[in-house]
Structure 1
Amino acid sequence: MSDTRSAAWDEYPRSKPQRRPTNARGDTTWFNWTQYADHGPGAEVLNLKAGDSVLDLGCGSGGNAAHSLLPVAHANLKPGGVLAFSQRPPVEGCYGCQASYIPRGPDEDPAIVKRWDYAPEIWCSLLKEYGFWEVTAKVLAACEHDRRTTGTLLVRAVRGDQPQLF
C-alpha cells in the first residue's frame, strides 16, 4: 500500500525530533539548510528583501526547504526569485528517481515518497534547461564536531526574466 505524497510528508515529522525553541545563538527564528544543528548557511541563501515571501516545500515541520517540480517552481517564481533546496548528496552511481521509506507506526507499512538524486553538475544543467540562471550546486561538508560524515547538497538558482514554455 502506498500513501499520497502529502500524507507521507505529514507523517515524516512525527518520526523526527521537534525543533528547538532557540538555536545556539539564542535566536528564536532561524533557518538551517543542513541536517546538523546550527551548521551551514542560513536564510541569506534566499537573498530576501523586506516584504518578500517564502514558500517552504520541505518535509517535516517546515524548518527546512526542499525541492519541487522544476517547471512548477519556475512558473510560480517572479523574475529574480530564488529556488533553493537541500538534501543529502546522492550515493555514487545511484542517480535519478529514488524511493524513500517514511516510517510510520509499528503495525503499519512505511509510506513511500519519491525523491530525485543527482550530482551537483547535473542539478545545474537541469535547472538551466528550465530557465534558471545563477545556478550553483555544491556539497557542504558535514559539521566537523559531529561523528557523522555525510554532507548536504545545497542547490540554488535564480529565475530568469523570461517565462519558459514547457
Structure 2
Amino acid sequence: MVSPQAQIWERYAAKYTPRRAVNAAGASTWLNWTQYPDHGPDETVLGNVRGKRALELGSGAGANLAHLATLGAVCTGIDIAPSRADLASDTWGHLGGLEFVTADAVDYLSSAGPVFDVVYSIFGAVWFTDPAILFPLVRARLSVGGVFAFSQLPAVEQGDQAGQVIRQWHLPVDQWIEQLAAAGFGEIVAETVGAPEPGRPGTVLVRARV
C-alpha cells in the first residue's frame, strides 16, 4: 500500500519538468545545490567522490546523482515517490554505478544496509524530516570521515502545521548546527548562499563530517 506521504509526492512528481539537456557551461551532467540554474557551488562541496559510496536522500529524477556517477562515485538514490526510481533508472541507468530505490528516508536508513562515504540532500528529505530523528540515522550509516551535506530554503515562520501530512523544517542556521552537533557530527560549516538577483531568497547550505 502506498502511504499518504508517497501519494502526495507522486502528485508532485507528475508536474516534473525535465532538466535542461545542457547547462550554461555546455555540460550534460552537473550538480546544483541552489534553486537557481547555473548558480552557487558545485559537487566539490562533497570532496573527491571518485571510488566513494554516495547516497542521495530524495533523488527525484536522478540528475544530481548521475553527475556524481560520471565522476566515479558508486551511487544510490532513494525517493518516496514510486515513479521516481523508474524515471531515474530509465534516464541515467546507462551510466552504470547507479541504483535508484523507492523508500522513505527514515525507513531506509533504519534498515540494515551499506555504509556510505557521502550522504546528501538537495531540497530533499532533510527539509521534510525531523532532524532529531534523521541526523543520528545518517551518522550511523556514514563511514569514518564521511560527509553529510544538504541544502534548502532559509528559515521562515512555519506557523501552525498541525494536521499537515508533510511538515517542512525551516530552521535557522544555528539550529541546524546544534542538531548536527547533537547527533555527533563535527567540522560543521553552514552558510546562506545569496540569490543571483536582489530580493530573492538565498539557499542554506550545510556540510558536516563524522
Please state whether the residue corresponding to 1:121 is helix, strand or coil.
helix
- The separation in 1 between residues aligned to 2:38 and 2:138, in whole angstroms, is 27
For 2:181, what is the secondary structure of its paired residue? Answer: helix
Q: Which moved more, 1:147-156 or 1:31-40?
A: 147-156
Q: Does 1:140 align with 2:205?
A: no
Helix, strand or coil at the partner of 1:123: helix
Q: RCO greater where, 1 or 2, for CA within 8 Å and sep 6 or more?
A: 1
Shift of 1:90: 1.1
Match for residue 108 of structure 1? none
Identity of aligned residues (%): 40
How far off its partner does 1:59 sit?
A: 5.7
Normalising by the residue count of structure 1, what TM-score does the alignment of the two structures yield?
0.74
Could you tell me how far 1:28 is from its partner in structure 2?
Answer: 1.0
Higher helix share: 2
Q: How far apart, in 2, do the equivalents of 1:62 and 1:51 lie? A: 19
Give 1:84 deviation, angstroms: 0.7
Counterpart of 1:121 in structure 2 is 174
> Structure 1 residues 119, 80: closer, same or farther in 2, change over 3 A?
same
Is 1:154 matched up with 2:202? no
Q: Which blocks of at least 5 consecutive residues in structure 1 are unaligned?
A: 102-111, 160-166
Alignment RMSD (CA, Å): 2.6
What letter corresponds to residue 76 of structure 1 in structure 2? R
* Unmatched segments (≥5 aa) in structure 2: 65-120
Q: Which runs of 4+ in 1 moved over 6 A?
A: none
1:62 has 2:73 as partner: no
Following TM superposition, by how much is the alpha carbon of 1:42 offset from its aligned partner in structure 2, in angstroms?
A: 1.0
Please say if 1:72 is aligned against 2:137: yes
Aligned length: 143
* Residues 4 and 79 of structure 1: CA distance in aligned 2, closer, same or farther (over 3 Å): farther
Instruction: Decide whether aligned partners of structure 1 residues 86 and 133 sit closer, same or farther in structure 2, where only a CA change above 3 A counts.
Output: same
- Read off the aligned partner of 1:21 and give its amino acid letter: A
Shift of the 87–50 alpha-carbon distance from structure 1 to 2, 3 Å rule, reads same
SS in 1 for 2:54: coil
Q: Which residue number corresponds to residue 40 of structure 1?
A: 40
| Aligned twin of 1:20 | 20
Name the CA distance, whole Å, in 2 between partners of 1:88 and 1:156.
15
- Rounded to whole Å, the distance in 2 between the matches of 1:48 and 1:58 is 21
Does the residue aligned with 2:166 lie in a helix, a strand or coil? strand
